[in-house]
Chains A and B, each alone.
Chain A
Amino acid sequence: MSPDARAADAPTGAVTLDLHGDFYSAAGIDEAAAAYAGLLMVERSGGPTLHRLALRVEDAEVDDLVDHFLNHALHASVTAARRGALGATA
């Protein structure tokens, strides 16, 4: 269905994704990128409305890397949004 999701099925190679800033924060994307360092190369540009991501799968042995990365980016972004709404910082 989603062209991005189909692209993410490809085991290797480059993928370009646009993530909307209402759902995905730059910090959340960067945190996910750090978590997947060595498995996935992530370059972020654009923002804050739209983040453009250039991704390259570096470890083809791991299935669904881009999808896992996106889940992590969403988790980190939603978590930070909730924390920000409360004004809770470390």
Chain B
Amino acid sequence: MSSADQNTDAAVDLETFEVLSDGRSVRLQIDERLYPLDAVRGAAYLFLDRCFVRLDRPADQRIDLTLKTKAAPMPGQLEQLAGELGNALLDQAVRVQVAQSTGKIREYIMARAFFAAPAQSSIDQLLAELDAEELADDPLDIQVPWEKGGA
């Protein structure tokens, strides 16, 4: 998945990043109080295929994320990369927020699903119920085997 695959537009406010460029690489200066380490890692990881990625900590609560192109950049490519990186960072920050907020719920669901399985008869009953629901709800007539109906 590229950064563009994960980015989704749901904008309200504007976020400002300081960007440094030297003709071969771009560096975003990130405030860790706004962007947790997991979000920075997540964003950085998405660029491993296209760029050489480097993380540094020049000061407390500050992270520098540098992307260096694997070949000499095309005109405008570094500016585009900086934009993609910024968007990836914003997107990853949302993902971290949602993951943290829903983490306990997921853990509970996983625990109920895999570590507190009811007796086999209950599972069979459950599956039978789900199957019955599926069969009852067949508006597309998909239960008709191929050889007995048109596609």
Q: CB within 8 Å of B: which residues of A?
A: 1-2, 4-5, 20, 22-24, 64, 67-68, 70-71, 74-75, 78, 81
Contact B66 A74 (CB under 8 A): no
29 pairs of residues in contact across A and B, judged by CB atoms under 8 Å: A1-B20, A1-B24, A2-B25, A2-B27, A2-B56, A2-B66, A4-B54, A5-B24, A5-B25, A5-B52, A20-B55, A20-B56, A20-B57, A22-B37, A22-B57, A23-B41, A23-B55, A23-B56, A23-B63, A68-B52, A70-B54, A71-B52, A74-B44, A74-B53, A74-B54, A74-B55, A75-B45, A78-B41, A81-B41
Contact A5 B45 (CB under 8 A): no
Main SS at interface, chain A: helix
Contact A1 B56 (CB under 8 A): no
Contact B54 A5 (CB under 8 A): yes
Partner of A67, one of B27, B55, B63, B68: B68
Distance in angstroms between the alpha carbons of A71 and B66 in the assembled complex: 12
Chain B 29-68, CB within 8 Å of chain A: the 1/0 string? 0000000010001001100100011111100000100101
Distance in angstroms between the alpha carbons of A1 and B19 in the assembled complex: 12
- Residues of B near A71 (CB, < 8 A) are 48, 52-53
**Taking the nearest CB of chain A, how far is it from the CB of B126, in angstroms?**
27
Contact B48 A75 (CB under 8 A): yes
Distance in angstroms between the alpha carbons of A37 and B20 in the assembled complex: 33
Contact A1 B22 (CB under 8 A): yes
Interface size on B, residues (CB 8 A): 21
Interface centre among B48, B54, B66 (most CB of A within 10 A): B54
- Residues of A near B22 (CB, < 8 A) are 1
Distance in angstroms between the alpha carbons of A45 and B63 in the assembled complex: 22
- Residues of B near A68 (CB, < 8 A) are 52
Distance in angstroms between the alpha carbons of A20 and B63 in the assembled complex: 10
Asked if B102 is at the interface of the complex by the 8 Å CB criterion, the answer is: no
Asked if B97 is at the interface of the complex by the 8 Å CB criterion, the answer is: no
- Residues of A near B7 (CB, < 8 A) are none
Contact B27 A78 (CB under 8 A): no
